[in-house]
Chains A and B, each alone.
Chain A
């Protein structure tokens, strides 16, 4: 069993077996947190480039730590300090990085499809670290890993995703991954922040969070971006908090041992109350550690063999 793809552009092209392989590999990788020497020699001589056109702390740092713990050389490029400001195109930048020896390019971009574009242009492996409203596969994988680690399984669990589903690549990757592994997915949020066609993905749509939470095993709370309110997608932040803000009171409708997740960074007191983040059922900090383990697993699984023997992007 191995990953058949040159690139990781989303969870959509992955089979449930491939997803399970990544999660299985992340388990031993996570053991590195218990070690004094946090270093494996696995990726010595490999060059990983983090190419970020959007702000990011967790994802970029997590890729950097994962790469360094596997002994790769990690180069960080942020768009504001590169030739991008001089008008260099995405594929030109990627080809330049490849000419400089990049084996893996990790890219985040505000436009959907950016990772696909460069995946076709370069022979290096490409990992999508978030493209517009499309997908954020490594976040999806670390969320799946965290659920499986704590609950022992994913099949048959009821998972609620609450917030701005329309603009969320985290929601998309979560929905795809969870349904592939047999979870029951409910999404909750205002109708204006809900994309069309969700039911075709096998998802139950709720506009009433309390109803969605009934009997839930897991709740994944999405970040609400204040700019959306300015665009008139919901009337006021205060109303959003009243209808969709996750509080301890509200969580009583879920199962007693409901697991609380947030991809970060959280707007405390808006989509999630401070005491919910600090609750003993919250796995927010664990998600960050698991992000490193899952990315180590991916870098390992994508480091061997000859990329040209593998299937190209989609």
Chain B
């Protein structure tokens, strides 16, 4: 894959997280019942950063959980190599809570579908919201985000790559060109 354009740098990512944190607090009138759940892999550091920002705004801590959706994917029989399964770590009851799912990129919506199923097997939240850093369009399911860092129109030959210091050593979002694209 060849990089085509950098669409967000570290400052833009930081500001987007700050804005989303404010939007979460405003939409839910505080964070009393709000719990953040990051979808592995890059939803997890994003959820942690959002929690820090929310805590700075409201003065109370916002618990963070980690969701692994591998066992809920709908493409396991079509891919040659099984993805590695990791642990789900949600150290709080989700019943009657407002769960904000956090992921890096919203694309087809299939990951979010899997995450919703995984979440429902763990309890019955009052409401589920979705926060993503980039919404790149091309939905295959009726799913939308409540909080978006940046809307980016893309073609299917492109890949949106979110990199974060915690997982990749750098904060940036780039559009890449698939090398197998004609």
Contact = CB atoms under 8 A, between A and B. Distances in A.
Interface residues of B, number: 19
B79 A305 contact: yes
B72 A40 contact: yes
B88 A305 contact: no
Most chain A beta-carbon contacts within 10 A, residue among B68, B87, B121, B122: B121
Contacts of B121: 35, 37, 39-40
A12 B182 CA distance: 44
Interface string A275-314: 0000000000000000000000100110111100100000
A35 B117 CA distance: 14
B155 interface: no
A301 B82 contact: yes
B76 interface: yes
Contact of A42 (B72, B79, B81): B72
Contacts of A300: 71, 82, 85
Contact of B82 (A2, A27, A41): A2
B86 interface: yes
Given A28-B87, A31-B88, A35-B122, A304 B68 contact: no
Given A39-B121, A40-B72, A41-B117, A1 B84 contact: yes
A25 interface: yes
A309 B82 contact: no
Nearest to B82: A304
A303 B76 contact: yes
A36 B94 CA distance: 12
B80 interface: yes
A309 B85 contact: no
B81 A2 contact: yes
A2 B87 CA distance: 18
Contacts of B179: none
A29 interface: yes
Given A41-B72, A42-B71, A309 B84 contact: no
B79 A25 contact: no
Contacts of B76: 42, 303-304
B124 to A, nearest CB: 10
Contacts of B79: 304-305
A40 B81 contact: no
Interface in A1-56: 1-2, 21, 24-25, 27-29, 31, 35-37, 39-42
B82 A305 contact: yes
B85 A29 contact: yes
Contact of A27 (B78, B87, B122, B123): B87
A25 B85 contact: yes
A304 B80 CA distance: 6
Interface string B100-139: 0000000000000000010001110000000000000000
23 contacts: A2-B80, A21-B84, A24-B84, A28-B71, A28-B86, A28-B88, A29-B85, A31-B87, A35-B121, A37-B121, A40-B71, A40-B72, A41-B71, A41-B117, A297-B85, A300-B82, A303-B77, A303-B82, A304-B76, A304-B79, A304-B82, A305-B81, A306-B80
